[in-house]
Structure 1
Amino acid sequence: MADPSTSPPLTRASVQAAHALIKPYIHITPVLTNTTLNQLASSPLAPAAALASTPTPAPAPARPVLRFWFKCENLQRIGAFKVRGAFHAVERLKAEPGWAEAGGREKGVVTHSSGNHAQALALAARTANIPAHIVMPSISAPPKIAATKGYGATVVFSGSTSTEREAATAEVIAQTGARLVPPYDHPDIVLGQGTAALELQAQFQELTSDPTRFLHAIITPCGGGGLLSGTALASEGTPTKVFGAEPSFQGADDARRAYYSASGERIPVVKTLTIADGLRTPVGAVPWSIIYERRLVSGIYAVSEDEIKAALRLVYERMKLVVEPSAVVGLAVALFNEEFRTMVEKEGGDEGWDLGIVFSGGNVSLDALGKLFA
């Protein structure tokens, strides 16, 4: 990776500059709406909870008014937002003084990822005509492994925890001299991921024919925190609030727990097998500095596995979109998390909120879907 000390400052202006740099390599993904999901979200929780087979958590459920604006990064290249950060990191690395002269093009790049960043870096490396070495947990989804190899990368398997991934990555670096392009914990990655939110705001203004109007809020999934922190940077200085969404299963809600803890200390290790496999990693130090230390994220909420599955089913049946479980965690919060819904009702009043939801990816196998909904 490029030396973090040489990265642009973590500001909205730098996200805009990142967008200009990677625009030739990415899709401008569509923003969609759905009246049925708006109506479900704007009704008391009881009907929605029935879809999730969970009890109503409060005797007087909230009635927020919500209008969803879905940023469909599941239709991005490689099927996920991750190409944004990967292309930005590779383009920045290519511009680093002395990189090519030191054999950078021959040594290539390396990363560890459960799938989406793996595919993203493999594609960015192939586009730049440099080798890519990808460390993937052995339990990664077969379609993600196949796609990563299909982009020409060399795949090395590891255990599923972040510690095991990082140890295997260190071995690859020692053997090849490849430069690390981390999945989330680097300024160049964060700035690249934030470009999705820039597009979402511009598309919202275009769709509403009001160039002065901003979304009330954007909610994104949070695993390593690159997308969430990048979205926060892209929204800094605007009226838009930013929220994170996590699974609660087996402690996957590490960012939420740290955010609301007395110490505010980042939790460095997470071990979970949540169905939202892209969110099984702990939030990184660079994203955490934006999310918590700079307080650019207004809150983080968590949902159960059943609620994630219920949101996933709704997107498939009502929107006809292929998304992965990680992608719908933000929608699940808006539909099922009573704390979030009560806050929206209180702050939005009768007018309600225009809520941007980032569908982060769509890389899921039919076999996995069959098991989820068996």
Structure 2
Amino acid sequence: MAAPPDAPVTPPVTSADVDAARELLHGVIRSTPVAGARTLSDLVGTPVRIKCENLQRTGSFKIRGAYTRIARLGAAERAGGVVAASAGNHAQGVALAARLLGVRATVYMPERAALPKVDATRAYGAEVVLTGRTVDEAVAAATAAADRSGAVLVHPFDHPDIIAGQGTVGAEIVEQVPDLGTVLVPTGGGGLLGGIAAVLRARRPGVQIVGVQAAGAAAWPPSLAAGHPLPVGGMRTMADGIAVGRPGEITYPQVAGLVDEIVTVGEDALSGALVHCLERAKLVVEPAGVAAVAALLEHPGRFPGPVVAVLSGGNVDPLVLLQVIRHGLVASSRYLTLHVQMPDRPGALAELLARVGTLGANVTDVAHSRISGALRVGEVDVELSLETRGPEHRDTIVAGLREAGHAVTTPG
């Protein structure tokens, strides 16, 4: 288990709690499909299936926990309304759950939250307040507002009802994949991971349960090593949905007591996983939502199969999607930028581009610079942006240009 051997912990949420939440959610949520992933299976050498919570109502698993929490409030608590904080997915889950249950909702979101997520939250009927730079700052503002107004704070992960609701994902996986070997779960605060673990540990005790964090926002590994929740500073990742600065007081014992391992993935793996889901699975998934797929790409052969990779959400800003796709294409060497130092004479550029064409690359952009300390008199630096067919083609292009006598450098 993930907990240090000298620090036993008792998980606060059980499989029975998840079963009760599942009854409550019947007719409210979708039982999302588990899809085969043949190409991904071939890449990593083990059978892989993907649990498509990006196809859930509101575009992520968050409606499960939000509805469970709000539905269990008493009449007086409902009358006072609810307050929440989120970068987007929990916001939408709370907004829809509150509307379905006739409860007033106010949601605090970071000032730079994705506009589609802000608009969707408002469209579901919640009042949105933009505040702070991070989810943690928005949570602090929401907590203070709840204290002032008497409204109930619906925490994004740190409550037994939230964990139990999210755990219904695991209950579905058990039924959909009876021969499950490993489940990989995108992990921020730990509500989804802890809830899934409650079910799997009770019903499939031999299954490997693995949480996946972005390396630039990984609070769980140092917290588990210390034996208690620790804050992590300086978070930087495209996966804003799992960028949580500190595990919760309730999710910590849940995860520490039941989960086998937490792994981290880099930004290249996240962007590559997003492009893979778009191209091969035909699924739109946000950067946080593809963390489990990224773990398979970054650690092939590490996890016993069959593996289920949970796609936790699909709410991605189109502008972010464009940036991540570009990053993913660069990471997979399908988009190449290189610099060529060459004589500044008529026809030289045409000769260079002709050579690139014979090497099978598509030129998407060309830029000249005659001002550089690295250039000799009579030379020009040409920056080429190229579409390629992958790492081998990239190497062929660079080698071919150098064989033709060009001085070629590739940034990074």
The answer to whether TM tops 0.5 is yes
SS in 2 for 1:170: helix
Query: Could you tell me which amino acid in structure 2 is paired with residue 246 of structure 1?
Result: Q
> Which structure would you say has the larger Rg?
2
- Report the Cα distance in structure 1 between the residues aligned to 2:280 and 2:20, rounded to whole angstroms: 36
1:101-250 mapped onto 2 (5 Å cutoff): 102=76, 104-205=77-178, 214-237=179-202, 238=204, 239-249=206-216
SS in 2 for 1:306: helix
Query: Could you tell me which amino acid in structure 2 is paired with residue 116 of structure 1?
Result: N
Note if contact 2:86-2:135 (Cα within 8 Å) is conserved in structure 1.
Answer: no
SS in 1 for 2:27: helix
Higher helix content, 1 or 2: 1
1:52-71 mapped onto 2 (5 Å cutoff): 66-71=46-51
Deviations 1:195-219 (A, max 9, x none): 00110120124xxxxxxxx311111
Q: 2:243 aligns with which of 246, 265, 280?
A: 280
Query: Could you tell me which amino acid in structure 2 is paired with residue 11 of structure 1?
Result: T
Deviations 1:48-91 (A, max 9, x none): xxxxxxxxxxxxxxxxxx11111100000000000000111011
Task: Give the Å deviation of 1:269.
Answer: 4.5
Query: Could you tell me which amino acid in structure 1 is paired with residue 261 of structure 2?
Result: G
Q: What TM-score, normalized by structure 2, do the two folds share?
A: 0.73
* Structure-1 residue corresponding to 2:397: none
Q: In the alignment, is residue 332 of structure 1 matched against residue 305 of structure 2?
A: no
* Structure-1 residue corresponding to 2:222: 257
Q: Indicate how the Cα distance of structure 1 residues 334 and 132 shifts in structure 2: closer, same or farther if over 3 A, else same.
A: same
* Structure-1 residue corresponding to 2:317: 365
Note if contact 1:216-1:355 (Cα within 8 Å) is conserved in structure 2.
Answer: yes
Query: Could you tell me which amino acid in structure 2 is paired with residue 373 of structure 1?
Result: I
Q: In the alignment, is residue 310 of structure 1 matched against residue 272 of structure 2?
A: yes
Name the Cα RMSD after superposition. 1.7
Query: Could you tell me which amino acid in structure 2 is paired with residue 39 of structure 1?
Result: D
Q: Which is bigger in relative contact order (C-alpha 8 A, separation at least 6)?
A: 1
- Report the Cα distance in structure 2 between the residues aligned to 1:164 and 1:258, rounded to whole angstroms: 20
Task: Give the Å deviation of 1:163.
Answer: 4.5
Q: Indicate how the Cα distance of structure 1 residues 83 and 271 shifts in structure 2: closer, same or farther if over 3 A, else same.
A: farther
Deviations 1:198-254 (A, max 9, x none): 10120124xxxxxxxx311111011010001011101123222210001112xx111
Deviations 1:9-54 (A, max 9, x none): 6111211111111122101111101211100111xxxxxxxxxxxx
* Structure-2 residue corresponding to 1:72: 52
Q: Indicate how the Cα distance of structure 1 residues 148 and 162 shifts in structure 2: closer, same or farther if over 3 A, else same.
A: closer
* Structure-1 residue corresponding to 2:340: none
Note if contact 2:187-2:213 (Cα within 8 Å) is conserved in structure 1.
Answer: yes
Note if contact 1:303-1:329 (Cα within 8 Å) is conserved in structure 2.
Answer: yes
- Report the Cα distance in structure 1 between the residues aligned to 2:232 and 2:104, rounded to whole angstroms: 30
Note if contact 1:22-1:84 (Cα within 8 Å) is conserved in structure 2.
Answer: yes
* Structure-2 residue corresponding to 1:354: 306
- Report the Cα distance in structure 2 between the residues aligned to 1:201 and 1:226, rounded to whole angstroms: 18
- Report the Cα distance in structure 1 between the residues aligned to 2:70 and 2:251, rounded to whole angstroms: 19
Note if contact 1:161-1:270 (Cα within 8 Å) is conserved in structure 2.
Answer: no
Aligned residues with identical type, % of pairs: 41
- Report the Cα distance in structure 2 between the residues aligned to 1:311 and 1:159, rounded to whole angstroms: 29
Note if contact 2:228-2:252 (Cα within 8 Å) is conserved in structure 1.
Answer: no
- Report the Cα distance in structure 2 between the residues aligned to 1:291 and 1:162, rounded to whole angstroms: 21
SS in 2 for 1:25: coil
Query: Could you tell me which amino acid in structure 1 is paired with residue 171 of structure 2?
Result: L
Deviations 1:86-132 (A, max 9, x none): 11101111xxxxx32x3x33321001111000000000000011100
Note if contact 1:162-1:269 (Cα within 8 Å) is conserved in structure 2.
Answer: no
Task: Give the Å deviation of 1:170.
Answer: 3.0
Structure 1: state its 5+ residue gaps. 1-7, 43-65, 94-98, 206-213
Aligned residues: 313
